[in-house]
Each structure stands twice: as structure tokens, then as C-alpha cells.
Structure 1
Amino acid sequence: MQFKKILKTLLAITGAMIFFLLAFPTRVQAMHIMEGMLPPSWCINWYVISAPFFIYGLYRLQKIIQSSQKNAKVMLALCGAFVFVLSSLKLPSVTGSCSHPTGVGLGTVMFGPGVMSVIGVIVLLFQALLLAHGGLTTLGANEFSMTIIGPIVGFLVYKLCRRFKVNRSVSIFLCAMLADWSTYITTAFQLAIVFPDPHAGVMAALIKFLGIFAITQIPLAIAEGLLTVIVYNLVISNDLWKETALQ
């Protein structure tokens, strides 16, 4: 089966990345923003802000599941697994957080940004409950940065590139890479407004957090963009999905 070939390729690449992390272990605090890092008021704020996007994502997910598009459910599962595996590969960064690929670019290109808010919450919830990565109180904040802002930015970049006839692979690469970077810009902002610099305020803290994240996130985002292009091209070339279907 063609899908098995794609799955084997994805598992092989992921296995190599996991081997590297296991061969050179590092002590990690938690994935995303960890439990207890944000004040209760901000936890509630991020839940409220993220709620409309999640509701719209449920609407989009229902449309996709009910559609007659070939392999729609299988591709949803693939995108969810892609997010889960990539976002589980982490490197230590700002205290109480860490750097990792997000994996949202693949689903964003295939389904649009709306559905990623639902897929992302499922992934974040599993990671918080089963892997002790992230947290339940910070779920709204992590959802907003990784599965709302990231996919929206990535989708806009992808559509803009395609409108100007940019090569498909380059467009997907930029989508995945900039979705990743925008996630961490948002995360840095979320931390900066809670932990401002005692002398220079929020902007100084934001610059500090961005500088720390950049060390690991720039190369991680580039690697994620390349992997996303490989997987997407495998899916399209094996006629498992039609380009622009259900976006």
C-alpha cells in the first residue's frame, strides 16, 4: 500500500530524530508552557481567547468528516500523528518551557488552519495527561500559540506564495517554518507579559525570551519545514490527496 510507504518513511525520519535525542540526552522542564507557570487570570484569559477558534475548528472538522473527499479521515489521522510526534521532540529553552517542532504545517496546507485548533488541543491534552508535558491550566495558552496563531500565519504565507506562483515545495516549506517561528514569537510574548523585565518592562523581556528561543528554534523550524515538504509530496505523488482539497 502507498500509505504504508509514507508511514514507513515518516517513522524512519522520526526514529532518527528520536535516536539523536536519546543518544544526547538533556534535562527538560516541560513541553510548551508548563503547569503552574501562568497566573490563574492569564490561564482563564487564554482559554477565553482560544474558545471561538476551537468552536470553529469543530465546525470545520465535522465538514471534513462528512465530506466525500477520498482519504479525508486517514489524512486527518496522519496530520494528528505528525503534530504529536514532532511536538514531542523537545530541547530545553526558557525556564518552564522548551523548544520543539510543532508539526502544524502539514495539516494547515491540507485542511486549512481551522481544524488544527481541534487536532492541536487533542495532542496537547494527551501530552499533558500522559507525558507530563505542558499542563491543563496552560492548555489555552499553548493552544493559542501553537494551533491557532501558528497555522493562521502559515496558511496566509502559503496562500500568498501560491498566488505569486511560488514553487509548491517552497511554499509548503515557508508555511511550516513560519508557522513554527510565529508559535514561538507568541509563546515569548505570553511569557513576557507575565514575567516582564523589572527595569525595562515587557519589551525587554520579549527580546530576551526571543533570543533564547532563537538558538534552538531557528534550526528546528528549518528541519520541520523540510520534513513537512517530504511528507506532503509523498502524499500527493501517491495520489492519496488532492492539492487544495478541503482547505
Structure 2
Amino acid sequence: MKHGSGLSLLARALPWAIALALLPAPVMAMHIMEGFLPPYWALSWWVLFIPFLILGLRRLGEIVHDDSHQKVLLALCAAFIFVLSALKMPSVTGSCSHPTGVGLAIILFGFRIVSVLGGIALLFQALLLAHGGLTTLGANGMSMAVLGPLVGYLIWVAANRLNLRRDVAVFLCAFAADLFTYAVTSLQLGLAFPDPQTGIAGASLKFLGIFCLTQVPIAIAEGLLTVLIYDQLTKRHLIPAGAH
């Protein structure tokens, strides 16, 4: 691995990350906001998220132990998730549409690592930017850092087994991970706030329908951006052998 190229790429991205992070944002900025979920559901999602976070930490230890040089790529993936998921567009009450940025980490390191990288991004956004929240971090983590990445990973594996072009496989992975994140968020909101007439299913479909208006174009843009970043990393020979 060429450390100079990796550090140079990270250094060029850092000013953009800082500028985006310092942009003014309302408290109801992104993800499911602080205090929006009833306590029962907030705690339930936390309980579900913690085991995946532990698995992610173990995966992180394995990656660093096997090749400590991967730290630069891990940092790049974490920054990519943080910056993209901080870009927001108002959508359903109590939440916003935004890219997730998880596709790159899925492709380079597998979906387990995203629970840690996504969790870190969600934690910093909640503490520093008032985006999301600590009570809802479990719910946001399950949607953006666990279930969305899992679907993206399955799509990535399937695309490679079908011998699809590499850029197509990368696009589909990022696109699917983004969209499924919001399918899960819609279900979370539907469970917490069922419709009086149509129940959980009806509420979830209503939330999903509203999300799709903004999320489909965002997912397409995120997929294309991930392809570009992957292509640049490939040209600089920074992609691990297992990602090919």
C-alpha cells in the first residue's frame, strides 16, 4: 500500500469534511431525532444494536491485527460515512433524508465493520452537531449501520457471483444499502406510531412513500459517488486484495 497516496487523499478530503460538519443545522437535522421515539422502542433498538456493535469491534480488531496499514482506509471509510450522512434533506416529521456513505466500507471490509464506523459517526453527530440523538442512536444504528449495510453486502456478493461489471456491483451495493436503511427507518417509525386505521403496516408504508420521494435520487447519487471513490482508490492501488 502506498501510504503517501492514502494520506494525501485523506488530507484533501478533510477540509471538505470540516466545512460540511460546521454548516448550521436545525436540531431536527437527520436520522430519528433525540426523544422522538417512545422510551420502550428507543431501549429495544439499543438492545438489538449492542450485539452487532460488539461483533463490529471484534472485526475491527481482526482487520488491524492482520494488517495495521488498513488504518488509513478505515479512517477514510469513517470520514466518508460521517460526511455523507451529515448531508440532509427534510422529509418525514422527526427525520430527514440523507446519504449513508456505508457502501465503501462494506465493499472494502465487509458489513460487520460498519456497525462501528456508523456508530461512531452517529455518536459524533449526536454530540457535536445535534443530529439524531443518544436515545435514538440504537434505532439509527440498526437502520444505517447494521441492516442497511447487511443488504448492501448481500447485493455486493450476489453481483460478484453473477460476474457483473465492478462499477455496476459497487453502485448496486451503495444504492441498496442506502434505500434499505430508509425501509428500516420507516418500519421503526411505523412500529412506534401505528396508524389508527391501518396499523403498523399502513403507517410504515406511508413513511416509506414519503421517504422515497427524496431518498431514491439521493441513493442514485450516492451510488455514483461511491463508484467514483472506489475507482480512485483502485487507481492508487489502495484497495485490499479481498475487495477485488
* TM-score of the alignment, normalized to the shorter chain, above 0.5: yes
Deviations along 1:23-69, one digit per CA (max 9) or x if unpaired, are: xx997722100011111111111011111111110100001111126
| Rounded Cα–Cα distance in structure 1 between residues aligned with 2:63 and 2:188 | 32
| Rounded Cα–Cα distance in structure 2 between residues aligned with 1:62 and 1:68 | 10
The answer to whether structure 1 residue 3 and structure 2 residue 1 are counterparts is no
Which residue of 192, 195, 212 corresponds with 2:190? 192
1:15-94 paired onto structure 2 within 5 Å = 29-68=28-67, 71-94=69-92
1:174-213 paired onto structure 2 within 5 Å = 174-213=172-211
Contact 2:172/2:223 (8 A) holds in 1: yes
Structure 1 position 102, deviation (Å): 0.1
Percent identity over the alignment is 54
| Rounded Cα–Cα distance in structure 1 between residues aligned with 2:126 and 2:42 | 15
Deviations along 1:96-132, one digit per CA (max 9) or x if unpaired, are: 0000000000000000000110111111000000000
Contact 1:31/1:133 (8 A) holds in 2: yes
One-letter amino acid of the counterpart of residue 88, structure 2: K
Runs of 4+ in 1 over 4 A off after TM superposition: 7-12, 25-28
Structure 1 position 5, deviation (Å): 5.9
Contact 1:120/1:146 (8 A) holds in 2: yes
Where in structure 1 are there 5+ consecutive unaligned residues?
A: none
| Rounded Cα–Cα distance in structure 2 between residues aligned with 1:200 and 1:99 | 24
* Secondary structure class of the residue paired with 2:130: coil
Contact 2:7/2:72 (8 A) holds in 1: no
User: Alpha carbons of 1:137 and 1:26: their partners in 2 closer, same or farther (altered >3 Å)?
Assistant: closer
| Rounded Cα–Cα distance in structure 2 between residues aligned with 1:121 and 1:222 | 23
Contact 1:124/1:134 (8 A) holds in 2: yes
TM score, norm. by length of structure 2 = 0.91
Contact 2:28/2:132 (8 A) holds in 1: no
Where in structure 2 are there 5+ consecutive unaligned residues?
A: none
Deviations along 1:55-93, one digit per CA (max 9) or x if unpaired, are: 110100001111126x30000000000000000000000
1:165-180 paired onto structure 2 within 5 Å = 165-180=163-178
| Rounded Cα–Cα distance in structure 1 between residues aligned with 2:221 and 2:86 | 15
After the TM superposition, which of the residue ranges 230-239 and 90-99 deviates more from structure 2? 230-239
Contact 2:27/2:130 (8 A) holds in 1: no
Structure 1 position 8, deviation (Å): 7.1
| Rounded Cα–Cα distance in structure 1 between residues aligned with 2:152 and 2:92 | 24
Q: Which residue of 2 aligns with 1:154?
A: 152
| Rounded Cα–Cα distance in structure 1 between residues aligned with 2:201 and 2:67 | 49
| Rounded Cα–Cα distance in structure 1 between residues aligned with 2:37 and 2:242 | 38
Aligned length: 238
Which residue of 141, 144, 148 corresponds with 2:139? 141
TM score, norm. by length of structure 1 = 0.90
RMSD over aligned CA atoms reads 2.2
